[in-house]
A and B are shown apart, each in its own frame.
Chain A
Amino acid sequence: MTRPLLAGATSIVGIGQTEFSKEAGRSETQLASEAIVSALADAGIPTGEVDGLVSYTIDPVEETELVRSIGTDRIRFSSRVPYGGGGSQGVLLHAAAAVASGVADVVVAYRAVKARSGQRFGRAAMGGRATSSHSGSTAMQWCAPYGVMTPASWISLNATRYMHVYGVTSEDFGRAVVQLRSYAATNPNAHFFGRPITLNDHQESRWIAEPAIRLFDCCQETDGAVAVVVTRKDRAQDSRQPVTIEAAAGAAIFEEEIASNHYRPELAVMEGSVALASLLFEGFGVSRGDIDVAMIYDAFTPILLMQLEGLGFCGPGEAKGFVADGNLGPGGSLPTNTNGGLIGEGYIHGLNLTTEAVRQLRGTSVNQIDGASTVLVSASRTGVILRQS
């Protein structure tokens, strides 16, 4: 493979966020505006220099209204990424591609959500729509008559198959959750700050989708916003703490749906992650052994383990042992989701995994891993590799 032009060409120069809560008490447009202004202040870049905006097809904030609030003069590039949470790192790919190609100089990626106080993420709207809103509604036509209408229910069908093929149990998932909650317990921004759990606590949490997903396997429904500022690597030297976007990629596989994947021949393997890993590692010439910290999209615990295998950090069926051996912890071979993940910190579409990756590279994480110089962020089908500049 030819190394992509955007390899190492751009940097994340600013990150910003609001508080994460269960009821923000203000509009998504306000949340996004606050996070973006905070990220630009972190970057040391005036708002007037922003000329690109990237978000998600399911984000409720209109670009035009956002511009009215933050006061940019002229946007030259905007785009939205589909594929729900699996697309969460796609905003970095779009931003990096726009900047590396010279279409834009300063691109802000943002996500604002009221997933608890607004339309709850865990409770899909009834009925669905026949036309696509790029949020999974086209796949809903096959699910709605059977009550399979939540992200947990969609994923659980894959997860049960995974458990069957590789002999994985709920306790295997629970061991990962205990580690995530341990990280969250020391993170003041986390929903579960100060609230670690035991494996027994996990096993006593109620079934959401049996035998794969208990309550404590579910990410949080969160209100809040996150923003990330991307610019050219040469320009990034003006910012205080830039990190380099070494690699950015995304892979969409035949027959996969926006937020579900039920028709591929073998669902025990997360094929999107296999494809993503090939693009990131082989395509950009980065070794898995270079990864010091991993941030892995954990909307539900099973997909964390399935990604560890799909990305090639362990072989098929080996993730349960990899987790049990403590590899996700601070002293392990692959410290993972050091903010507590989406299960422990909160769910801002997975963009809050990207900001934690930046903090690890800056040395400012509350659960700082010594020597973290290369961090992978994977959302199963989109991902980035970030490096210290």
Chain B
Amino acid sequence: MSDPIRPAPIITEDNEEFWSAAADGILVAQRCGSCGNLRHPPRPMCPLCHSIEHDTVELSGNGIVYSYSILHYPQFPMFNYPIVAVLVDLDEGVRLLSELNDVNHDDVRIGLPVKVRFEDTCDGMEVPVFVRRGGS
């Protein structure tokens, strides 16, 4: 039996830049072309200045665990359980929902330093996940 493989992300007109970069192993966030506000999740207009101009900037991939949850049930066939779901506050100031891998469950805690890694999905995409950083 092959290992479960996670579903590919759902691509929309407004999130395509994020997932395309991820497929190339790059973590990005949108940056407003007018006021420079960094934002995630992506959106078509800056909520601060209403500019529709934006670019994307590569993030360091370093952050800390803002919150977590170890998911036991229900179990879907494309994942390994339990899943350590995390909200990561990245150094640049945006928050990402993801998962924490290669970690002993007793070591999972709020404030844990983590860094990004990319994992394969169905249909040849990649998505950012996180692992412990440094000697944490």
Could you list which residues of chain A lie within 8 angstroms of chain B, going by C-beta atoms? 122-123, 126-131, 140-150, 153, 156-161, 164, 206-212, 215, 254, 262-263, 267
Assess the B10–A146 pair: CB atoms within 8 A.
no
Report the Cα distance A129→B12, complex, angstroms: 10
Name which of A128, A142, A212 has the most chain B CB atoms within 10 A of its CB: A142
The 5 A-B residue pairs whose C-beta atoms are closest, nearest first, are A156-B69, A161-B67, A210-B70, A147-B79, A141-B10
Assess the B72–A210 pair: CB atoms within 8 A.
yes
Q: Which of A143, A144, A161, A206 contacts B66 (CB 8 A)?
A: A161
Assess the B70–A142 pair: CB atoms within 8 A.
no
Assess the B97–A160 pair: CB atoms within 8 A.
no
Assess the B10–A263 pair: CB atoms within 8 A.
no
Could you list which residues of chain B lie within 8 angstroms of chain A, going by C-beta atoms? 6-12, 15, 40-41, 47, 66-74, 76, 78-79, 82-83, 85, 87, 95, 97-99, 105, 110, 121, 127, 129
Assess the B83–A146 pair: CB atoms within 8 A.
yes
Name the A residues within 8 Å of B72 (CB-CB).
206-210
Q: Which of B11, B40, B69, B98 contacts A212 (CB 8 A)?
A: B69
Name the distance in Å between A253's Cβ and chain B's nearest Cβ. 13
Name the B residues within 8 Å of A262 (CB-CB).
87, 95, 97
Name the B residues within 8 Å of A126 (CB-CB).
7, 76
Assess the A211–B83 pair: CB atoms within 8 A.
no
Name the A residues within 8 Å of B70 (CB-CB).
207, 209-211
Assess the A127–B10 pair: CB atoms within 8 A.
yes
Assess the A147–B76 pair: CB atoms within 8 A.
yes
Name which of B40, B105, B110 has the most chain A CB atoms within 10 A of its CB: B110
Assess the B82–A161 pair: CB atoms within 8 A.
no
Assess the A147–B95 pair: CB atoms within 8 A.
no
Name the A residues within 8 Å of B105 (CB-CB).
210
Assess the A148–B67 pair: CB atoms within 8 A.
no
Name the B residues within 8 Å of A215 (CB-CB).
73
Q: Which of B6, B47, B71, B87 contacts A145 (CB 8 A)?
A: B6
How many residue pairs link A and B with beta carbons under 8 A? The number is: 105
Which chain A residue has the least Cβ–Cβ distance from B67?
A161
Which chain B residue has the least Cβ–Cβ distance from A138?
B12
Do A160 and B95 form a contact, CB below 8 Å, given A130-B10, A145-B127? Answer: no
Q: Which of B41, B47, B67, B83 contacts A142 (CB 8 A)?
A: B41
Report the Cα distance A294→B12, complex, angstroms: 41
Report the Cα distance A143→B76, complex, angstroms: 13
Name the A residues within 8 Å of B121 (CB-CB).
145
Q: Which of A129, A141, A146, A206 contacts B15 (CB 8 A)?
A: A141
Assess the B71–A130 pair: CB atoms within 8 A.
no
Assess the A146–B85 pair: CB atoms within 8 A.
yes
Name which of A122, A143, A147 has the most chain B CB atoms within 10 A of its CB: A147
Assess the A267–B67 pair: CB atoms within 8 A.
yes
Report the Cα distance A117→B121, complex, angstroms: 31
Assess the A254–B66 pair: CB atoms within 8 A.
no
Report the Cα distance A174→B92, complex, angstroms: 38
Which chain B residue has the least Cβ–Cβ distance from A164?
B110
Name the A residues within 8 Å of B110 (CB-CB).
160-161, 164
Name the A residues within 8 Å of B98 (CB-CB).
146
Assess the A160–B71 pair: CB atoms within 8 A.
no
Name the distance in Å between B79's Cβ and chain A's nearest Cβ. 4
Which chain A residue has the least Cβ–Cβ distance from B128?
A145
Which chain A residue has the least Cβ–Cβ distance from B77?
A126
Which chain B residue has the least Cβ–Cβ distance from A264?
B95
Report the Cα distance A147→B5, complex, angstroms: 11
Can you list 24 pairs linking A and B with CB atoms under 8 Å apart?
A123-B74, A126-B76, A127-B10, A141-B9, A142-B41, A142-B97, A145-B6, A145-B9, A146-B85, A147-B6, A147-B76, A148-B97, A157-B67, A157-B68, A157-B87, A164-B110, A206-B73, A208-B71, A208-B72, A210-B105, A262-B95, A263-B41, A267-B67, A267-B87
Q: Which of B10, B41, B67, B83 contacts A147 (CB 8 A)?
A: B83
Report the Cα distance A161→B88, complex, angstroms: 12
Name the B residues within 8 Å of A127 (CB-CB).
7, 10
Report the Cα distance A262→B85, complex, angstroms: 12
Assess the B74–A145 pair: CB atoms within 8 A.
no
Assess the A122–B74 pair: CB atoms within 8 A.
yes
Report the Cα distance A206→B72, complex, angstroms: 9
Report the Cα distance A267→B4, complex, angstroms: 32
**6 new A-B contacts at CB < 8 Å, known A130-B10, A145-B9, A164-B67:** A141-B15, A144-B9, A145-B8, A146-B127, A147-B71, A212-B69
Name the B residues within 8 Å of A211 (CB-CB).
70
Q: Which of B11, B12, B71 contacts A209 (CB 8 A)?
A: B71
Name the B residues within 8 Å of A146 (CB-CB).
6, 83, 85, 97-99, 127, 129
Assess the A153–B10 pair: CB atoms within 8 A.
no
Report the Cα distance A123→B11, complex, angstroms: 22
Report the Cα distance A153→B79, complex, angstroms: 14
Which chain B residue has the least Cβ–Cβ distance from A137?
B10
